[in-house]
A and B are shown apart, each in its own frame.
Chain A
Amino acid sequence: MSSAVASSPVDAPTDTDAGAAHWRLIGSFLAPHRRAMAGFSLLVVLAGTLPLAGPLLLGAIADGVTSDAAVGHLVLLAAGLGLVGILANGADLTVTWLGARLAWRAANELRVKVAAHALALGPAWHGRTTPGEVVDRVDGDATRVGELLARVVVRLAAAMVTLVGVVVLLFVQDWRLGAALGVVLVAGGWVLVRLRDLAVPSGVLARQRSGEVFGAAEERLRGAEELRALGGGRYAVEDLQRRSALTLAPWRRQEVYATAIWSASMLVVVGGGAVALLGGILLQRTGAMTIGQVLAAFTATQLTRRPLEQLAENIQQIQQAGAGASRLATLLAEAPLVAFSGDRELPGGALPVAFEGVRAGYPGMAEDALGVIDLHLEPGEHLGVVGASGGGKTTLTRLLHRALDPRAGAVSLGGVDLRDVSETSLRRRVAVVTQEVQLLSASIRDNLTLLGSVAATDDDLVAALDAVGLGNWFARLDQGLDAQLGDDAGTSAGEAQLLALARVLLRDPGLIVLDEPTARLDTASAMAVTRALDSLLAGRTAVVVAHRLATLEQVDRIAVVRHGRIVEEGPRVALLQDDTRFARLVAAELGATTARGDGR
């Protein structure tokens, strides 16, 4: 099969760069399976050759009929024809089976590779890509590429063998016949490939338009109540109708291309048949061919119909796979924001934090998201970060767990520049707790150890649950640690956050970064989380981002971040006593009337 791929006109150097890129991707992901493919190729050759026996038998029958051969002879030939049909289709089915196996192996490897790459791309990339889109890349596109192999390339290979066989068959009859058919097939193949390349963009546009319809419909249903309460229902319906109508033109264009490809493949078969018949008729008149041989030659050319039609029917899959492969190539070419190359270990115990002359920003943005930051935290010190949203709080925390590297200056923990630290050490020693708790619908054990990435005994796990105050909740579960979250064990938002804290506790980190851990909780749950945090943070350095200033009652220092700079920093108690921004913020939250006066 590898030879079929290599010699297929699709790989021709005239192909566009994008086209070449995705075929290179497919080639590279097949490379490890070379040996399996060699054995498989033999079978493909057999499956491609067997159907050729049909036309030969048919020709022999026609000759038998015209020369008044014995009935017994004809019966034997007719029975042979049926048998060949069964064998050929059996071989074809086996090719499908083995081809699918091979393709899925390769596609699965691709899938895991793409997933690994996507995980490493960092929060900025994930911020502008929805989980749904990532799943479509990792799963949808990898499957499309795999299906392309399993269904189309394998078929294409068998079809190629049949086509070559047909040309050889005609060549044996008369070299001019074979040569003429060869010309028709090569020209037809070229046209098919050009058409395919032309069709890809129209397919992308059509699918994108449809995607917008589905996206809009989903959004409207999600916001159905607000739409009704705001009188926007009519607008939403008219808008959906318009978006849906907008899909008509691109899909029509796409359909014209798809049918043109089908049409071209038919013309190839028609051309081949016409060549065989014309040559056959002329040669038969000179007595160089029998009527049976003409019929055999013609029928043989018709053998190309089924593979070509299948190819044409699958053209949409080819297009999707082509588009999918380009998207995957783009994704794999996307460089992660940070690359881990260091091998130093972070020291044990609570980690001191140092920002020295740090500026940071995101790729594609010339301006820094964070101005020059200098900040020092002693081991075990707790810092609260406050400020309006969009001011740079999150960017500041991202530097701490290396979701982002500084443009200038350095962030170091325990005296080690983060860029020199190994990924394993960083992940073990720095823990992050986010606003939205992210749980898997798996067992409690898998959620706590994150599928076994933390080595912990069951006793450790239960102890951690106790420590964060989930002891009673856990005691109610019949299946213990094996209880499936969601199915067996319901979790409120508060319990979910506590589970996240237990997760952190198990890893015994030296620095904890908390991003508004109680933002989405009601007062009672927020109190439970605050209690758990008290014990979790004891003896560890912590950076806490918060809107609700009540969360910050336990921190030692406060930094007010505004427009990418720390505009105020100091011990919490000291800041509260003076007329500082922080003091004003606290006052505003408490409802005092002195809150005014800090306009922009």
Chain B
Amino acid sequence: MSTTATHQTGERRATWRVIRHMMGVRKGAYWGGGALWWAFILAPLLVGVLLERLFDALGDGGPALMLLAAVTGLEVARALSLPLVGWMFEPFWGHTETVLRTNVLRSQLHPDPTRRGAPIMDAAAAMPLFRDDPEHVARATDYWLTLVAMSAIAVVAMAVIARIDPLVAVAIAVPLLLASASGYLIAPMVRRRRADDRAVTSEVTGFLGEAFGAVTTVTTAGAAPALLRHLAGLCDRRRVTAVRDRVAGQLLSAVGAAAGDVALGAGLLAAALVVGEDLTAGQVALLAAYAQMLAGVPRHWAGWLTVRRHADVSVERLRGAVAARDVAELIAPIGPVPLAPPPVQRHPLPPAPAAPRLQLVGLVTQTPDGQRIGPIDLDVPAGGFAVVTGRVGLGKTTVVRAVLGLAPLLEGEVRWDGEVVDPARWMTPPRASYVAQVPTLFSEALDDNLRLGWDIDEADVHAALDAAAARDLVAELEDGLDTRLGPRGVRLSGGQAHRVAAARALIAGSALVVADDLSAALDAETEATLLDRILGDRGRTMLVVSHRPSVIERADVVLDLDQ
């Protein structure tokens, strides 16, 4: 119990630290917009008093029309200020979200393993880190302003009402406090309903995702009708949970609104009993206006609890994705977040070193499921072509990944021209490049996919495409190098993607190129062309995984894991 309590305190402190930081990332937007917002929320306090005067003026022939003009003027100004609030405040949201997203991704991709966040295994499950969690943090920071203003309303309104008679204030406060208390009872039920509905909803989306992922099988096997029946059944179950959820969600505000009406009734009742004949029509109008405002207070307090809880969960999750769960990493400054950001700057790449002699000495590594591979010894001469081969499941991929620092180096060492290097930090362009077994290309333009932010001459890009036998492929694309890949652009076949990935690895002119199984996606003819071109000038050392006899035949060094 006590440990959970401490843990929660720690969690809350972290959330508060993040929130406080975000209040300052865009001060003008947050505090400027926030001040206007406060004025917007608090103005009705004044309106209520003006209405009191107005209705009293009706009784004693006072300047009712002037008061009406004041009320209307104030309300109109208030309404018109809203878009201004939105315009001023909105960049705060985007800036806050950008800070969190950028820091999470930076932590995930950090070249230094000690400054890298715990890896996110399932990329799809990482979605909340970039969408929901930053939003929850921004919302909590935003909501804090409302909370402060609503609390001020509660205090001031109660004080004004107490001027009529303290008992009237009490009569109004009691139903509202009761409603707040019932909110604490209702809230867990609302959460349960929400959880039930989420569970069924994810069942429906999960099923749909699978069904449409398997669309070829489903349609060609004539299973569409059966699938739709199953979907209809799931939808029926979801209707029940969804309706319950919606009603539960409405319950809190219904109780709050009813409490507001009851509070007004109770206040008037108390006023009739206590103040009696001295009660004025203006005071009735004031009570009606203030009761309505006060009715919103419990709902906003309850809302803060929810917003704050979401923010706690989100900050926890965000911290889990940055190095050492350090809040400082999460809120590290990222520079300006302009409304019209310039294109990403390309950085110059240092010249590549000469092709190295690559040595693996007693290298021991392990596969993701914990199987130890090694010890392995390999000596590739400068400019040499080494092939790793062997049956499936022996760890060919893991070996080359260990050379690149992507798999752990448990024992032994990797030497570059005789010097022991730390693969994770050393094996990057312009020293080393990598073609993965199943390469990942990104949705942007082909050109950006190839460069990955490096400032490389157009001529070198074309040379790399040539060497990777990918020039024809690019020539056939309508927009050439500007063609966007990915769901909204051109979809490359497996073989085409491999050739592009090969070009991407060659573009930096790296001294060492590591390629994991080009054969799987390329036919023998294309692969031979590709190897001819890459090996043509012997300006680089190559380490590739392959099981194709025609490739092994050309190797200077073969590492056969079968032996």
Contact = CB atoms under 8 A, between A and B. Distances in A.
B392 A81 contact: no
Interface string B430-443: 00111010011111
Contact of B337 (A126, A150, A245): A245
Interface in A70-97: 71, 74-75, 77-86, 88-90, 92-93, 96-97
Interface stretch (A111-119, A173-181, A368-376): A111-119
Interface stretch (A38-46, A157-165, A437-445): A437-445
Interface residues of A, number: 161
Interface string A412-433: 0000000000011011101110
A524 B392 contact: yes
B288 A258 contact: no
A263 B86 CA distance: 11
B216 A438 contact: yes
B281 A134 contact: no
Given A139-B208, A222-B440, A225-B436, A427 B83 contact: no
Contacts of B251: 93
B429 A230 contact: yes
B232 A112 contact: yes
Of the candidates A75, A233, A246, the one having the most CB atoms from chain B within 10 angstroms of its own CB is A233
A295 B51 CA distance: 10
A450 B265 contact: no
Interface in B203-239: 204-232, 235-236, 238-239
B39 interface: no
B487 A130 contact: yes
A474 B431 CA distance: 50
Contacts of A424: 222
A85 B54 CA distance: 26
Given A232-B452, A270-B76, A389-B494, A226 B439 contact: yes
B360 to A, nearest CB: 17
B94 A244 contact: yes
Given A233-B111, A390-B493, A450-B218, A216 B443 contact: yes
Contacts of B223: 450-451, 453
A259 B83 contact: yes
A248 B94 contact: yes
A129 B487 CA distance: 6
A252 B339 CA distance: 9
B265 A108 contact: no
B82 interface: yes
Given A78-B268, A241-B102, A135 B406 contact: no
A262 B82 contact: yes
Contacts of B342: 242
B78 interface: yes
Contact of B453 (A232, A255, A292, A390): A232
B221 A259 contact: no
B491 A428 contact: no
A320 interface: no
B387 interface: no
Contacts of B550: 588-592, 595
Nearest to A85: B261
Contact of A61 (B89, B94, B219, B284): B284
B525 interface: yes
Contacts of A388: 495, 523, 526
A138 B342 CA distance: 37
Contacts, number: 477
Contact of B239 (A84, A105, A428): A105
B341 A85 contact: no
B224 A120 contact: yes
Given A219-B442, A278-B68, A547-B523, A251 B93 contact: yes
B58 A133 contact: no
A600 B476 CA distance: 14
Given A78-B268, A230-B504, A284-B58, A255 B86 contact: yes
B487 A585 contact: no
B323 interface: no
A498 to B, nearest CB: 14
A218 interface: yes
Interface stretch (B16-24, B117-125, B151-159, B311-319): B117-125
A112 B230 CA distance: 10
Interface string B482-514: 000011000101111000000011001000000
B108 interface: yes
B49 interface: no
B61 to A, nearest CB: 9
Contacts of B505: 230
Contact of B279 (A65, A122, A129, A240): A65
B288 A299 contact: yes
B97 interface: yes
A394 B277 CA distance: 91
A96 B247 contact: yes
A401 B218 CA distance: 13
B222 to A, nearest CB: 3
A229 B433 contact: yes
B443 A86 contact: no
Contact of B284 (A128, A295, A439): A295
A261 B437 CA distance: 53
B254 interface: yes
Interface in A254-282: 255-256, 258-260, 262-264, 266-267, 270, 273-274, 277-278, 281
B196 to A, nearest CB: 14
Interface string B65-108: 10010011001101110110111011101110110011001101
Interface in B396-423: 401, 404-406
- 5 interchain residue pairs of minimum CB distance: A85-B261, A235-B453, A427-B222, A82-B265, A438-B214
Given A210-B131, A233-B109, A595-B524, 4 more contacts: A66-B280, A71-B273, A85-B260, A224-B119
5 contacts: A81-B268, A85-B260, A131-B213, A450-B218, A453-B222
